[in-house]
Structure 1
Amino acid sequence: MTNKIKLKIVIKIILYLMILGGCCWFIYILQSSTQEDALNVKKWREKTIELIKSDTVLAAESDSLKLYFKEDTAEIWIEDKKTDEIWRSNPENAKSDKAAFGLNKTNILSQLIVGYIDDQSSSFIVNSFVGSVKKKTFDYRLADNGVYVTYYFNETGFEIPVYYGLKEDYFTADILCNKIVQHDSFKISNITFLPYMGCGSTKDTGYLVIPDGSGSIMNFNNQKQTYLSYSQPVYGRDNALSTLNITEKKENVTMPVFGIKRNDDAMLGIIAQGEYQAEIGAEVSGKTSSNNIVYSKIDFMQLDTNKLFANSNNEETSFMWTEQFNKFPKYEVRYYFLNQNATYTDMALRYQKYLVDEKGMTKLSQETEDKAKINVNLIGAVDKVATFLGVPYKTVEVLTSYSDVLRIANDLNSNSFIDLNLWYTGFLKDGIKSKLPAKIKLDNRLGGKSEFYKSIKELKSMGIGFYPSFNIVNMYQTGNGYYKTDSTRSVYRSAANQYEYLLSTGDKNSAISPTYLLSPSKVTGLSKKLLISIKKNNLTNLGLEGIANTMYSNYKKNGISRNETGSIFKDILAELDANTDSLLLDRAFGYSMPYADIITDTPVYSSEYDMEDASIPFYQIVMSGYATLYSEPVNMQGNIQDYLLKLAETGVNPNYKLIERDPSVLMNTQYSYLYSVGFNDWKDDIVTTAKRFSKLSVTYGQTITGHKEIVNGVFKTSYSNGAAVYTNYNNTEVSVDGVTIRAKDFIVRGDR
């Protein structure tokens, strides 16, 4: 072996040794670093109950919250720094859930459940775990104090981007709707968003909060898994879609919120954008998994069902999907994590704060009079069919003339217990079903212009609130510049007929002609014309029907979505509120609440579905101190005694629907259901109720700060000034908290 060869061998050995040493040194450094990181993680885990794994990143942090993102499953969870509570997007032990089978097994691992249709209008479902996460076809980036995640569903051609982030005191979850991509022929119909966020297990105690009517709760693990899950659209059904049959009276989702009370902690969800096309869903453990869940869903398309050739031998049912409405910036759900021991009262107060901070809702002035607030809804006139020599013709039946209004007001106002408010409907020409109010046209049959304004002047001098009511949404007749072509369109591009339904069968009442809904794009112009007429006639108070509680699309070509309708209606309400002294709205939904000084027909019960456990006054708590609430007509209730107790319990004032004429004039008309509305029949009852309710004046203008059932059948409602109302539904006297409440009665404690 030559020296040259020996030298090469030595050099190679040295190089190998150097490489080996470098590797050892690198491994040593890596291990040291890992050990150091492990020590840091260990310290952090001691603080956060050992929740972070090596594939989890801290995506965002605020003064009160931390947001974590799990890189391999796209799960997120939030740590509440104040309580150390953890709120997860998916159950911690989802894979071992023994109650979940089939698709539900992977739904609980998903952040999105996507409904879609093919080009044959067949519907399907795919979730984010099966369609994207399991196949590793998603990506993320940390930015804007949060994390952007894009789910790629390769088999269906969907790209759905979402954003999870922290903003001040809440966690926000957004679907970036206008950035959704649909490559193939499939179309997304809806997306259920974070269905398991904050859910409670079978080991937890608590309840789900649903804004069903006044509000309702579903207790965790209530053994009602055999009943249908709760699922209802926010603000009720789309009135432009067909309704074949109405077999039950149910409440609507009145607010875009939902909540979870889990052990000692609570979470409130608020749909901040896209609410008009949203749904609220809820179910208890044992239904599809071992979890108690409440969540929201965004609808881009709706399935319409209609009957063709109805009531004939060729009758058939048709199904048609609406066009896709998804071109809006984002669907945003905010999650607020409340203090320990928070209840549904605290959830309602947080939503109240949201309406104040974000929507400009303002407080009522403080009340001082020891009187009962009583609202009377007077009906001016209705349409009816009469006959002359056997020939039918349409006419108007006067029920309460302009001078009658003044007489009734004087009669009731003479009672020292009554703080009277009047809401006058059906006072325009042709009564309740008048033409759209492009301008104020009074009816000479009711007394004419001079009599109307004389009554207004005298009512004002007596200090009585008077609200003439206008409907700028429902088109009962054509005219005043508006025609059937101005109505909103159905899926079939024909006018979206609005029907009356028979109480006996729930079917459409073919004896009554259908009415229409004015296209949302036309409502703005009508409202401006009405405002001009109101100012011209010096009307300072305004009552509005329909616009505060009716939500619909227009399915004409290049139609108008519910989100667009909601935005239009909200702007109209804001303008009318700014240009009047006081605004009365009937049965106001969440989007109209900030503009209401008075709300009538306030719901005091939920739908009381089988899966629900109790009605709660969520609606009333939200609006307490910010609007005067009046009930549905007391004189049209089945159990008036318990209904009045419910009003006292929930801070709602009595409302009566009345006419001056004897109700017998309405027999054999479409208004025959108004058989108990005669003023003379109810005057004494109103006075008696007012005397009883006058002791509640201590609560007027105050915020409800607490509500609970303290013993069976006895509720305590607490107010911001220290007053408390105890309501006893029992048939026997009850003593509690040092007070005695008589059977079927209420008592007030506390001062201003």
Structure 2
Amino acid sequence: MYKKLSACLIALLLVAQPLLLAASATAEKAPRQMQQFTSNRYTQADDRGRAVPNANASVTDFDRVAENEHLILYVHPQSLAIKVKNKHTGYVWSSTIDQMENYRLNQSWKDFVDSAITIDYLNRQGKQMRESLISNGSDVKIEPQPNGFIADIEFMQANIKMRLSVELTESDVVVKIPAAHIQESKHTKLVSLQIYPFLGATFEDAVPGYMFIPDGSGALIRYDYEVAMESPYTASVYGHDAGYVAPPNETDLNPEFSASMPVYGVVHGVKQDAFLAIIESGDMYSQIMAYKAGLSTDFNWITTKFNYRYAYKQPTSRSNQSGTAIDAYQAEANRFDIGLQFKVVHGDDADYVGLAHSYQAYLKDRGVLTEKQGTNPLLRLEFLGAEMKEGLLWNSVVSMTPFDALPGFADELKQEGVEDFFFIYKGWYKNGLNGSLLKKFPFEKKLGGKSEIRDMTEDLEQQAVQVYFHTDYLKSLQGSAGLFNSIEYAKQINSRTIQAMRNELGYYYVPPKDALELAKQHADKYKDYGMERLAVDSISSQVFSVFNKGKQATREQNKDLSLETINVLGGGHADKVALYQPNAYAWGTTDKYLDAPLSSSGYLYVSDTVPFLQIVLKGYVDLYSPFMNFSSNQKEELLKLIDYGTYPSFYLTKESSHLLAKTPSRHIYTSEFSTWKNEIVHQYGVIQDSLGQVRDASIVSRDVLSPGVVAITYSNQTTFIVNYTDYPFTHHNITVEAKDFAILKGDQYRDPVNQ
């Protein structure tokens, strides 16, 4: 599939040469066939030729309150609107719109745009109302600080008080609202608030650039993208809180991704000016919202909404046989400090790659990302041991991959030259994968006994093959034999059981406190059987409030319990735990990210999909793809792995997958090792020759040279040119064949537009 490079190109690889990414690079292409590469499944070329108008630069009526080497901060004394001047470029970031009378905004919108804070609250009749800071002449008292200001605010109509602080720190603007300074009145209750929602807003397509949203691997909403937005992008950070809102049923062919990173970004002119917003605190109760021009207003804007009270459905009777319910709000407000950090960047850092580098540096500074200790394998092979089979009177178990099969598979692969891989073994527990998700021991006897599992682990250790044992303490299949020791399922605020659908199967969730206790009970047994490494499902990707009597816990508290559970299972060693699609707060607990997204949710208003997640993590946490044997286009997906710095994965069994037809794993339609062995060997060879050269390197830059052609440069001066198209791409006497890639070595990377 991937042809060897010509002798000329091989010579280039052996002798380090600069990578010259020139604008004159051309591709042989037919426009009709190339249209797919201008869709939002791919990344588009940037418009770097347009100057950015500094439309909101006026500081008339604003007070200059702070300045450092990089930034100047201005504040309006009544509205508390801010303007931030980047001293390196002269560009002014504004939280308001200058000459607002020239735009189609009614008074409510003008108040919203101009105000530092807008709140939603419940009045004494329980009706939700909105008040912006300047709507009713709020009482504002500003106190200057060495690097910014503090403002005490009283919303006059809502009779709600709070304190806002804004501070410059190097190249950042830090905004805070401490929980201790929020005061509600006797008759009004705070529901939510938004801070500086129009910071970085742009009018229609007057400014070249885009908004970055943390959807899947990452997505862009370009200002000049012609597809209209019919509803805003609204994503609860880390997904919806299932303690209030039932989890979405994952029955769609293209399910939505949750926002696993508490960040968003704004770019005004690629390689000109940009900022990254990081939700430092209050992230558990936040939503990221993006509006495109044409929806509500003629402006593009993106912000964070912080939720102090969630609405939920309260059944009108204990049995709820009628199915009727009333709308209700939390009686007690969520208590949390708000912390937003806006990292202002410019020049080469002013694009989604630079924003990813800013987030990466932020996580490194806080110890979340650390230098990798050792090198991880290039391939993940996940095997299903046993599965429950549904019966008319009772259930049985189907053995798909017994314990003693794995060492044989490892030996077969090594004989084919596949040396660097690891196994995950799931469904090893009694009754199989979905038969008893919580009760891990004893082993499923159809797979083998205690001696067989010890022999398996010892044999694989001698072959230098790591094996991770799958486990999940957070969810249990409805009707499984998973609950014991008086554990009850997690409950929502309305006393309903938290449950969800996935692959047409219903699951219940367990309180994280109980999950932690189960993990502690099993920790010694894992050690006794030589099960030193675990692949932990669910607990790092799902976090929710719990309202069981005597076990009430907030989302923040349950996040801490989940991290403690991971620590117990891994013994405090990140290299002993692999996690499935972990949220950002759990990245520091693992060195293997499983099922890393290679796409976005595909919203029509999104213009590009980008590997923001991969750029942040590459070189610190190794990423492994969703299962390649379920991909409809193996060749393109393998190219995307090279583009995204992600290693391949396969879901496998010894037996044919048709045996799973009447089991909860009936969606597995092709998995037999003997069927996929040759493709595994082939893909391993391709990845070894490509990503094997950048194992510990980080991504420095990524440029679209032509629709469907991308150049990715790493910190060790290795560059891949990936050609997704059906036509050869010629670049400086180097031809990259259709659906192929080339590898170049060089001492420097040069921007194609600046050639």
TM range (shorter): 0.7 to 0.9
What amino acid sits opposite 2:345 in the alignment?
Answer: L
Q: Counterpart amino acid of 2:179?
A: C
Cross-structure match for 2:145: 143
Partner of 2:512: 520
- Higher mean C-alpha displacement, 60-69 vs 115-124: 115-124
Q: How many residues align structurally?
A: 681
Q: Which residue of 2 aligns with 1:229?
A: 232
Picking from 533, 557, 582, the partner of 1:588 is: 582
Aligned counterpart, 1:26: none
Identity value in percent = 22
The Cα offsets for residues 107-152 of structure 1, whole Å up to 9 and x where unpaired, read as 2112222222346654332222314xxx142222123632112221
More displaced, 681-690 or 710-719? 681-690
Distance 1:337 1:481, change over 3 A: same
How far off is 1:693 after superposition? 2.2
- Hey, what's the Cα distance between the residues in 2 that align with 1:321 and 1:232? 20
Query: Which of 712-721 and 740-749 deviates more?
Result: 740-749
Q: How does 1:490-501 map to 2 (within 5 A)?
A: 490-500=492-502
Deviation of residue 563 (structure 1)?
2.3
Q: Secondary structure at the match of 1:376?
A: strand
The residue correspondences of 1:293-442 to structure 2 (distance < 5 A) are: 293-305=301-313, 314-316=322-324, 318-328=326-336, 330-341=337-348, 342-365=350-373, 373-387=378-392, 392-433=393-434, 435=436, 440-442=441-443
* Whole-Å separation in 1 of the counterparts to 2:125 and 2:407: 62
Distance 1:200 1:577, change over 3 A: farther
8 Å CA contact 1:121, 1:321 repeated in 2? no
Q: TM-score, normalised by structure 2?
A: 0.84
Residue 359 to residue 576, structure 1, CA distance change in 2 (3 Å): farther
Pick the aligned partner of 1:77 from 83, 91, 95.
Answer: 83
With over 3 angstroms needed to count, the CA separation of the structure-2 counterparts of 1:117 and 1:354, relative to structure 1, is: same
1:622 aligns to what? 616
DSSP-derived class of the 1:393 partner: coil
Compared with structure 1, are the counterparts of its residues 386 and 572 closer, same or farther at alpha carbon in structure 2 (3 Å cutoff)? closer
Q: Does the 8 A contact of 1:161 with 1:176 survive in 2?
A: yes
**Structure-1 separation of matches of 2:689 and 2:469:** 29
Aligned twin of 2:53: none
The offset of 1:169, in angstroms, is 3.5
Against the structure 1 CA distance between its residues 444 and 283, is the aligned structure 2 distance closer, same or farther, given a 3 Å change threshold? same
Instruction: Flag the 1:124–1:245 CA change in 2: closer, same or farther, 3 A.
Output: farther
Contact 1:207/1:260, CA 8 A, preserved across alignment = yes
Letter in 2 for 1:629: L
Letter in 2 for 1:178: A
Contact 2:438 2:482 in 1 (8 A): no
**Alignment correspondent of 1:20:** none
Give the equivalent residue in structure 1 for 2:710. 715
Judged with a 3 Å threshold, the aligned counterparts in structure 2 of structure 1 residues 50 and 114 are, in CA distance, closer, same or farther, namely closer
1:684 aligns with 2:691: no
Aligned partners of 1:657, 1:102: CA distance in 2, in Å?
57
- Residue aligning to 2:664: 670
Alignment match, 1:552:
544
* 1: CA distance, partners of 2:445 / 2:352: 51
Superposed CA deviations along residues 30-85 of structure 1, whole A, max 9, x for unmatched, are xxxxxxxxxxxxxxxxxxx98544x5333333332222222132111222233322
Q: Which runs of 5+ in 2 are unaligned?
A: 1-55, 748-755
Could you say if the C-alpha distance between residues 405 and 703 of structure 1 is closer, same or farther in structure 2, counting changes exceeding 3 Å?
Answer: same
Residue 497 of structure 1 aligns with an amino acid whose one-letter code is Q
Larger fraction in helix? 1
SS of the residue 1:250 aligns to? coil
Give the corresponding residue for 1:660.
654
Deviation at 1:437, TM superposition (A): 5.4
1:257 aligns with 2:259: no
- The 5 Å alignment of 1:643-658 reads 643-658=637-652
Q: Distance in 2 between matches of 1:182 and 1:61?
A: 34
In 2, the alpha carbon distance for the partners of 1:738 and 1:531 equals 59
Native 8 Å contact 1:417 1:694 kept in 2: no
Paired residue for 1:174? Answer: 176
Distance 2:98 2:526 in 1: 59
Q: Is the 8 A contact 2:250 2:501 kept in 1?
A: no
How far off its partner does 1:443 sit? 2.2
Find the counterpart in structure 1 of residue 210 from structure 2.
207
**Higher CA-based Rg:** 1
Q: 623-632 or 437-446, which moves further after superposition?
A: 437-446
Letter in 2 for 1:702: A
Q: Which has the higher contact order (CA 8 A, sep 6+)?
A: 2
Q: Contact 2:457–2:530 at 8 Å: present in 1 too?
A: no
What's 1:457 paired with?
458
Unaligned 5+ segments in structure 1 are 1-48, 503-511
Q: Distance in 1 between matches of 2:588 and 2:124?
A: 43
Q: How far did residue 186 of structure 1 move?
A: 2.6
- State the match for 2:129 in structure 1: 124
In the alignment, is the contact (CA less than 8 A) between 1:373 and 1:418 conserved in 2?
no
SS at structure 2 position matched to 1:355? helix
Greater CA deviation, 218-227 or 374-383?
218-227
Range 460-469 or range 475-484, more displaced: 475-484
Could you tell me which residue of structure 1 aligns to residue 563 of structure 2? 570
2:472/2:538 contact within 8 Å kept: yes
Distance 1:494 1:283, change over 3 A: closer
Deviation at 1:382, TM superposition (A): 1.4
1:170: how far off? 1.6
Match of 2:220 among 193, 217, 222: 217
Q: Residue 181 of structure 1: SS of its match in structure 2?
A: coil
Contact 1:234 1:276 in 2 (8 A): yes
Counterpart of 1:733, as a letter, is: P
Alpha-carbon distance between aligned partners in 1 of 2:435 and 2:356, rounded to the nearest angstrom: 38
Match of 2:27 in 1: none
Q: Does 1:268 align with 2:271?
A: no
Residue in 1 that maps onto 2:192: 190
**SS state of the match for residue 469, structure 2?**
strand
Match of 1:733 in 2: 728
SS in 2 for 1:498: strand
Letter in 2 for 1:700: R
Q: Does residue 290 in structure 1 map to residue 298 in structure 2? A: yes
Shift of 1:245: 5.5
Q: Tell me, in whole angstroms, the C-alpha distance in 1 between the residues paired with 2:134 and 2:481.
A: 53
Residues of 1 paired with 2:125 and 2:539: CA distance? 36
The alpha-carbon distance between structure 1 residues 738 and 418, as it changes in their structure 2 partners (threshold 3 A), is farther
Structure 2 SS opposite 1:694? helix
Distance 1:195 1:224, change over 3 A: farther
1:744 to 732, 735, 739: 739
Distance in 2 of aligned mates of 1:317 and 1:463: 58
Q: 1:243 to 1:629 in 2, by over 3 A?
A: closer
CA-to-aligned-CA distance 1:475-502 (integer Å, 9 cap, x gap)? 44566754343x3211212322333464
SS in 2 for 1:164: strand
Deviation at residue 711 of structure 1 after TM alignment: 0.7
Output the CA distance in 1 between the equivalents of 2:65 and 2:548. Answer: 44
- In structure 2, the partner of 1:533 is 525
The answer as to whether partners of 2:699 and 2:712 remain within 8 angstroms in 1 is yes
Distance 1:366 1:723, change over 3 A: farther
TM-score, normalization by structure 1: 0.85
**How does 1:236-247 map onto structure 2 within 5 Å?**
236-240=239-243, 241-243=245-247
Relative distance call for 1:483 and 1:733 in structure 2 (3 A) is farther
Deviations 1:612-652 (A, max 9, x none): 10100000001100111110011112222222221111111
Measured on the aligned residues, the alpha-carbon RMSD in Å equals 2.8
Residue 632 of structure 1, aligned match among 618, 626, 630: 626
User: What amino acid sits opposite 1:533 in the alignment?
Assistant: K
User: How many angstroms apart in 2 are the aligned matches of 1:323 and 1:539?
Assistant: 46
Alpha-carbon deviation of 1:348? 0.5
Aligned AA (1:562): R
1:699 counterpart = 2:707: no
